[in-house]
Amino acid sequence: MVSRLGRGASGRSTFGRLIAVGAVAAMLLVGCGGQAPSDATSSTTARIPSTRPSATPSRSPSGTAPVTPALRPTRWVVGPEGPFPLGGLVVAAGRLVIAQEGTCCDTPASARFAAYDSTRRTWRLLPDHPGGGPASPAAVWTGSEVVVFGEAVCPTCTASEAAPTRTVYAFDPATWAWRRLAPAPVALSIDYAVWTGREVLAVGRPLIGEYEHGAQVLLRYSPSTDSWRVGAVPPGPSRGGSMVAVWADGRMLVWGGMTRRPRGPDDGVRVSLRDGLSYDGGADRWTAIPAAPVGGATGAVGGWTGRELLVWGGWGTQGGGTREVARSGGAAYSPSTRTWRTLAAAPREIRRTLTGRTFFQGVGTWTGWELVVMVDQGMYPNAKPAIGAAYDPVRDAWRMLPIGSGLASAAAAVWTGRSVALVGGYRVGEDTPESPFPHLVECVAGR
């Protein structure tokens, strides 16, 4: 999955998206694990998997016990600051974290990117993006290059004047260079994208007027042949906002988002969705995923465990779209049984923080063993240190991460293979969140 930092396009009927150099800085180490789960680890009536999800790197021949012990975030490390404010686009690419320069307000998207090496703990600038800087970007890591989608912005235009484009670029860390892909068959604003192991699947919407978007379209890109094809049309209402989308053993699973429902002849209301879609890449066929046992949401955190799709948090609507509320619950979907189970309740500290909020302010990522989430405790000037927790789907239990990142907020969270990297955001008492910041903090894993 991809982390993205929201950039509202003023005047359009699009839905808000939550988004995916120098010497090593001195490290500040703070304990970040080992606490007992809070009282919020009650079991559910659904059966919990008895073995570790198959996303574990290696297993015994029987598949019942992992050979490699679980890597769990255990301590905070304050990393070197980026060469510029971070947050436009953040995506993990192996041990690298690729980040776009973040911009504020209606400033055009930046063409500047940098890569953080989580092993060497250093930053390195990328060549500028050839397209001048993608707005509302989305990206996927193919294992050899980062394919970056985004709306085009002219040099003299504002961010809200960005428009979908057929031009897509990919960055190759081996050559440290961008390449221009064959033109896409349709210019789309990309809603979500995944890597199948052979193709990039990207779903987006074309601009059909000055401010209106049309029905969603699925594009399939093959890096081996540098060619595109159009897939089957996603069924049901057009999903906007930020959805959880993962590649899961031969199918793409999509959950959540928002849609617009008519409220009058010239009016509509945004409604959050709690159902989803499953796309079979081999058959080029979509099927519906039943509604989850939690409220619909956009901007939820999620991941694929090897057996289940996990979704948690986000924000949604109530009362037919008349009220907005932050979500603090989650669920797990099994494609093999087409059933959901409710996750154990998040720790009370997390639930207390989100109670009464109308908007979800948080980030998260799947590590291969746990779903790690970080939640803001308040906005400037009353900001407090962000709090975090990790969910283990095998035990159906949460553990709190002690406060230690020093951040009140983060633009994105990604898993580097050895740490959860919090990118961008602002520090408690030091920064004002009107503009992005270059901060990077890692919660490094141990066994």
% the chain with pLDDT above 70 = 79
Q: Which of left, alpha, beta for 442 (phi over 0: left; psi -120 to 50: alpha)?
A: beta
In this predicted structure, the answer to whether residue 30 has a pLDDT above a threshold of 50 is no
pLDDT at 126: 98
pLDDT at 397: 98
**Look-up of token digits 């690419």:** 93
Mean pLDDT in residue range 135-164: 84
Question: Quick one: which of 47, 150, 49 has its CA closest to 91?
Answer: 150
Tell me if the domain spanning 3-57+67-446 has CATH number 2.40.30.10: no
In this predicted structure, the answer to whether residue 41 has a pLDDT above a threshold of 80 is no
Q: Which two tokens stand for residue 289?
A: 């995923």
In this predicted structure, the answer to whether residue 49 has a pLDDT above a threshold of 90 is no
Taken in order 74, 80, 81, 86, the sign of the CA dihedral is: negative
% the chain with pLDDT above 90 = 60
283/64: higher pLDDT: 283
Cα(326)–Cα(66) distance, integer angstroms: 36
In this predicted structure, the answer to whether residue 79 has a pLDDT above a threshold of 60 is yes
In this predicted structure, the answer to whether residue 44 has a pLDDT above a threshold of 60 is no
CA distances for 422 relative to 87, 137, 169, 231, angstroms: 10, 18, 25, 35
- Predicted confidence band of residue 273 (pLDDT cuts 50, 70, 90): very high
pLDDT at 156: 63
85/30: higher pLDDT: 85
Q: Which segment of 56-70, 161-175, 190-204 scores lowest on mean pLDDT?
A: 56-70
Q: Which of left, alpha, beta for 374 (phi over 0: left; psi -120 to 50: alpha)?
A: beta
Cα(100)–Cα(85) distance, integer angstroms: 8
Bridging pattern class, strands 113-117 and 135-141? unpaired
> pLDDT of 275-292, one tens digit each?
999 999 999 999 999 999
| Spans of all domains in the chain | 3-57+67-446
Q: Which segment of 3-7, 369-373, 419-423 scores lowest on mean pLDDT?
A: 3-7
Question: Quick one: which of 284, 196, 199 has its CA closest to 245?
Answer: 196
- Predicted confidence band of residue 107 (pLDDT cuts 50, 70, 90): confident
Q: Alpha helices of 320-430 — where are they, by DSSP H?
A: 348-354
- Predicted confidence band of residue 70 (pLDDT cuts 50, 70, 90): confident
In this predicted structure, the answer to whether residue 264 has a pLDDT above a threshold of 70 is no
pLDDT at 196: 98
In this predicted structure, the answer to whether residue 48 has a pLDDT above a threshold of 60 is no
> pLDDT of 378-433, one tens digit each?
766 777 889 999 999 999 999 999 888 888 889 999 999 999 999 998 888 776 66
Cα(422)–Cα(402) distance, integer angstroms: 15
In this predicted structure, the answer to whether residue 38 has a pLDDT above a threshold of 70 is no
